Amino acid sequence: MASHHTPHPRIAEREKYGPHVTKDESESINGRIAVVITNMVGTMWCAYVFAGIALISLPAAIQAGTSALISWIAQTFLQLVLLSVIMVGQKVAAAASDKQALQTYKDAEALLKLQDEVHRLIKINNEMTEQIRDLVVKKG
């Protein structure tokens, strides 16, 4: 027994666009430039280079005294090095978030298709039930 079934349009829409991930956020020229700079600065190698640059001025900060040393730690070392380290952490978190979004997308996609199939089977069942009822009514 065949029954015409029209899948929900959201299924086709989801297949067309797929999951939304972090890389989809840089569509403008400014967004692309920001991503390139972030990818360059947001590496542990860049953090090591910044640490080396910051260490160049450490001897002068030590000679200048406690106040200058505290200022060097807060304004030079932490800002230079932690900037890159935090960016690396954000990239790792974004990658994990993208993986989670993709998994959620796939799960939702499977559920939508399963629900669509259930809907199709219920429609067939209803049609067959009507046919059985019609046959019983005609014979009775």
Residue 125, classed as helix, strand or coil, is helix
**Average pLDDT for 72-89:** 89
Q: How far apart are the first and last CA of the chain?
A: 24
Residue ranges per structural domain of the chain: 27-139
Residues 28-60: tens digit of each pLDDT: 888 888 888 888 888 999 999 999 999 999 999
Is pLDDT above 60 for 3? no
Residues 90-125: tens digit of each pLDDT: 888 888 888 898 888 888 888 888 888 898 899 999
Residue with the two structure tokens 């996609």 = 109
pLDDT at 140: 65
Residue with the two structure tokens 């039930």 = 129
pLDDT band at residue 65 using 50, 70 and 90 as cut-offs? very high
Note whether 50 and 9 are within 8 A (CB).
no
